[in-house]
Structure 1
C-alpha cells in the first residue's frame, strides 16, 4: 500500500464513529488487559489515542508514539512498543499494514484496530439450477418441481436464526452494535432493549438518549460480571435486575438531592 496522509486510509476503519471504537476497545480490554505488562498497556493506550482522528486507524511512526509516551512521563522503550504490537496482532486486536514510498522503499506502518468479534457470515440461499435438479421432459412438471424445491428452501430459511443485522429499527443502532458482539441474534437484542422499555415506561422525564445510556451501561456490567465468573442462567432476568438496581440508585440519589 502506498504511504500517505491519514485521510487516505479512512476506508480501513471498521467502526461507525469514535464512540463505537471506544465501546469495542472496552470489550477488548475486559479480555486482554491482563495479557499485557504495565509498560505494554501504556504503549497500547497511546496507540489507541492516536487512532481517534480516523476511528481505529493510526499511521504514526513508532518513534513518534514512543516519544509521546515520554512526554506524558510514561517512559517506555521501542522494544516494549514492538512487543505490545506482536501480542496485539496475536490476539487479533490489531492488523498491521505495510506502506511503501514512491521509490519502493518501505515506509511506516498503518495500524488498524479490529472489531471485538467478527460478524458471522450470513448463510446464502443456493438457487437451484438444471445441474442440481432432475428435470423431467414435461415443462409443467419441471416448473412444479422447481417451485417445490424453492418452497422447501424457504422453509429452511425461516427456521434459521437471523443475526443482529435484522434487529428491529426500534432498537438504537449503538445498543444493537454493542450487544451483537456477544449475542449476535436479533431476538436477543430486541428482548434486552424491551427490558429497558419496560423499566422506564413510566419515567416520563427519560429521553431516548437516557434510555440508550442506561442500556449500554447495564449491558457492559452484565458482560463484565459474566467475564469475571458470575454464572448467569437467564441473561434477560439478570439484565432486568441490573437495570432495576441502577434505577433504584438513581431514585435514591434524586430523593437525597431534594431533601
Structure 2
C-alpha cells in the first residue's frame, strides 16, 4: 500500500465512530490488560490516542509515538513499543499494514485496530422456539400450509446476526452487545429490559437510556469475566439495571431532603 495522509486510510477503519472504537477497546482491555507490562501498556495507550482522527487507524512513525510518550513523562524504549506491537498482533488486537513510498522503498506502517471478537467464555443464551400451529382438518388450508412449508424450506433456518436487529434498538447499544452476542433476537431482548424498566421514567431521555443500557451491559460482562456464574443472562442484566435505577432514585431523594 502506498504511504500517505491518514485520511487516505479511512477505509481501513473497523469502527462506526470514535465512541464505537472506545467501546471495543474497553472490552479488549478487560481480557488483555494483564498480558502487557506497565511499559507496554503506556505504548499501547499512546497508539490508541493516535488512532482517534480516523477511528482505530494510526499511521504515525514508531519514533513519533515513542517521543510522545517521553514528552508526557512516560519514558519507554523503541524496543518496548515494538514488543507491545508483537503482542497486540498475536492477540488479534492490531493489524499492521506495510506502506511504500513512490520510489518503491518501504515507509512506516499503518496500524489498524480490530473489533473485539465474541468471547468463547460467554455462552449465548438459547433462543426462544416458535410454536407451529396445528394442522387443520380443512383440505385447502392443509394444502396451503404445505405450500408455505415448502417455501420456508428454502430459507436458511439460522439465527439472524446483529445486523438484522430491529431499528428500535439504538445503534450504539447494538454495536456493543454484538461484540459478545451477535444475534438480533438476543440484542433486542437486552434492550427490552431497558425499555420496560424506564417506561414510566418520563424524565429519561433517549441518551439516558442508552447510557444506562451500555453501563449496565459492561458491568455484566466484567462480572462474567471475573468468574460470576449466571443461569439467566437476561434476569441478571435486569437486576443490574434495577440496582442502578434504585441507586439513582435514592440519590435524588438525598438531594431533595
Give the SS at the match of 2:31. helix
Deviation at 1:160, TM superposition (A): 1.6
Task: Please state whether the residue corresponding to 2:202 is helix, strand or coil.
Answer: coil
Q: Which stretch of the first structure deviates more once superposed, 220-229 or 154-163?
A: 154-163
Q: 2:7 corresponds to which residue?
A: 7
SS at match of 1:95: strand
Measured after TM superposition, the shift of residue 155 of structure 1 is 2.6
Q: CA deviation at 1:159?
A: 3.0
TM-score computed with the length of structure 2 as normaliser: 0.86
State the distance in 2 between where 1:114 and 1:87 align: 14
Number of residue-to-residue matches in the alignment = 230
How much is the aligned-residue C-alpha RMSD, in angstroms? Answer: 1.6
Residue deviations 1:54-81 (CA, integer Å, cap 9, x gap): 0000000000000000111110000000
TM-score using structure 1 length:
0.86
- CA distance in structure 1 between the aligned counterparts of 2:190 and 2:169, rounded to whole angstroms: 10
Deviation at 1:222, TM superposition (A): 0.6
Distance 1:50 1:150, change over 3 A: farther
Closer/same/farther in 2, CA of residues 227 and 156 from structure 1, 3 Å limit: farther
Deviations 1:185-213 (Å, cap 9, x if unpaired)?
11110010000011001100001110000
In the alignment, which residue of structure 1 is the partner of 2:80?
80
Choose which of 188, 202, 205 in structure 1 pairs with 2:203: 205
**Segment of structure 1 superposing worse, 154-163 or 225-234:** 154-163
Matches within 5 A, 1:207-246: 207-246=205-244
Specify which of 189, 192, 209 is matched with residue 191 of structure 1. Answer: 189
Distance 1:149 1:81, change over 3 A: farther
Deviation per CA, 1:125-170: give whole Å up to 9, x if none: xxxxxxxxxxxxxxxxxxxxxxx99965733636321111111110
Q: Distance in 1 between matches of 2:154 and 2:238?
A: 33
Q: Kindly state the Cα deviation for residue 117 of structure 1 after the two structures are TM-superposed.
A: 1.7
Gaps of 5+ in 1: 119-147
Aligned equivalents of 1:81 and 1:150: distance in 2?
60
State the alpha-carbon separation in 1 of the partners of residues 240 and 211 from structure 2.
Answer: 13
SS in 2 for 1:76: coil
Describe how 1:69-148 pairs up with structure 2 within 5 A.
69-117=69-117
Who is 2:139 aligned against? none
